[in-house]
Amino acid sequence: MSATPLLEVRNLTKHFPMRTGLLQRVTGAVKAVDGVSFDVNAGETLALVGESGCGKTTTGRSILRLIEPTSGSVRFDGTDVLALRGETLRRMRRRMQIIFQDPYGSLNPRMTVGAAIKEGLIVHGLAEGSAADRRVSTLLDEVGLRPEYATRYPHEFSGGQRQRIGIARALAVEPSFIVCDEPVSALDVSVQAQVVNLLRDLQRERGLSYLFIAHDLAVVAHMADRVAVMYLGRIVELAARRTIFSTPLMPYTQALLSAVPVPDPTAKRQRILLPGDPPSPANPPSGCVFHPRCPNPLKDAECARVVPPLEEKAPGHFVACIKQPLLHLSSHAS
């Protein structure tokens, strides 16, 4: 792993304006992403986890500028991604790709599989004609599909096969970083394992870096090198995978892990039930965004007043909590 991160995200923010009335005046904002910072090293998988609606997908798409961020900094291999325009941005996008959650919705139903994969090759001038066709055949074989499938349409494939096509399309332009936006959540469990193993094999063979967005912690346990836990637009804990699963410090992370099912029905576990529902990102609470639901007995008025920074509590273990958490869970995964 290189000393300099491949991807550096600092204070990334995405606020969606709320408009009301006949004149559609801005009356507020949905704070989908609110000051997120992290690094991704070359060859590393950083998992971004959290409840639905916490801002994971918006973070991934803002990094790639599929959604334009409100503010913040994104540097990829030393280049300021947010400052790029036109042709320079298109060249950068060759190196930064995405695998979407919905393998059917992300494919054009009127394009053959071969045409969908070939499109990136043509746009970036990497290959055309018979050379592009050979490249498509190689990519299909690499993701476990038959080369003759290139002439078929997306509706002729299963969900797992369509996701493999999505992976081949992302690989076509030879990226070094891929945002995996819940790439297995829409698949059957047996197919999930196959796709996760494929992603790991491709990472090892090609030296890829992943931002792996997921809500299934069992998948994250097998895929990630480090884990960033997100709540209401903010990262509340970030550490190595083993550390997150064995000694989580943030009460929210502890509650997430306590909900992970285990295959042993006789195992005795303490489930942490959080009170209430997650607040709306259109009206987040003051101070620590988690404080209204926090079960930490040390919680006090300061938690509602002070926004906790993401601080290093132990080597490589960052937590956004101004109180020392007292809850402890047994080890879940390694």
Q: Are strands 234-240 and 311-314 parallel, antiparallel or unpaired?
A: unpaired
Average pLDDT for 252-279: 82
- Which residues fall within 8 angstroms of residue 27, CB to CB, at 6 or more apart? 18, 19, 20, 21
H helix and E strand count, the chain: 9, 12
**What distance in Å separates the CA atoms of residue 172 and residue 121, rounded to the nearest whole number?**
6
pLDDT of residue 83: 96
Residue pair 325/250 in contact by the 8 Å Cβ criterion: yes
Rounded to whole angstroms, how far apart are CA atoms 115 and 118? 5
HEC readout, 84-120: CCHHHHHHHHCCEEEECCCCCCCCCCCCCHHHHHHHH
Rg from Cα positions in the chain: 21
Mean pLDDT, residues 14-43 = 94
pTM of the shown model: 0.91
Q: Is the pLDDT of residue 70 over 90?
A: yes
Tens of pLDDT, residues 307-323: 999 999 999 999 999 88
Q: What is the DSSP string of 2-61?
A: -SS-SEEEEEEEEEEEEEETTTTEEEEEEEEEEEEEEEE-TT-EEEEE-STTSSHHHHHH
Structural domains of the chain in order of their starting residue, each with its CATH number:
7-95+175-244+313-319 (3.40.50.300)
Model pLDDT, residue 1: 42
What's the pLDDT score for residue 325?
A: 52
Q: How far apart are CA 126 and CA 142, in angstroms?
A: 18
Q: What average pLDDT does the chain have? A: 91
| Cα-Cα-Cα-Cα dihedral sign, residues 29, 33, 36, 42 | negative
What phi and psi values does residue 16 have, to the nearest 5 degrees?
-95, 120
Residue 214 sits at the vertex; the CA angle it makes with 170 and 100, to the nearest 5 degrees, is 30
Contacts of 115 (CB under 8 A, 6+ apart): none
**CB neighbourhood size of 8 (10 A):** 18
Report the distance separating Cα 223 and Cα 69, nearest Å. Answer: 27
pLDDT in tens, 143-164: 999 999 999 999 999 999 999 9
* Closest residue by Cα to residue 149 from 65, 30, 138: 138
